[in-house]
Amino acid sequence: MKVLWAPWRMEYVSSDNNEGECIFCTGDERSQDERRLILFIGNRSIVLMNRFPYINGHLLIAPLRHVSTLNALSPEEKLDLITMVEKSIGVLKEVMNPEGFNVGLNLGKIAGAGVEDHIHFHVVPRWNGDTNYMTVFGEVRVIPEHIQATYRKLLPFFK
């Protein structure tokens, strides 16, 4: 039997989010941005890496304001979110050269929202062959690059 090591996944498996804090609510403390994988904080939105990604470069874009529905957003917040989704796609194209993207949001727990009380978009770069037998038969994703290495590649493009 072969073993695939992914020790960083243990944090997800054993986590019950005992801190009780929203991953998208930034507060005023900037010293933890790298640990939290925050790439950008603007006037109305935040971009961070998904700590438990589907594939390298999986980004999350959320409004700074803690809201759970699209209709709770102001027109300015909606425009800013879509603008940041567009910018994030541009950065991922330049840095990682994906062949396509999945972009979307999961509204409600039943739809797959892991953080259902703070609306957020997923931007997932895709490459031909990034879903293979490991995902299909083993229900295991193989992510070829460490998340901190991806963070360091993307961060300069969001400054």
Q: Enumerate the active-site residues.
A: 120
Cα-to-chain-centroid distance, residue 101: 13
Q: Looking up tokens 């994906």, which residue turns up?
A: 98
Report DSSP state, residue 79.
H
What is residue 50's three-state secondary structure?
Answer: coil
Edge-to-edge strand list for the sheet holding 100-104: 38-41, 45-49, 59-63, 121-126, 100-104
Task: Name the pairing type of β-strands 59-63 and 38-41.
Answer: unpaired
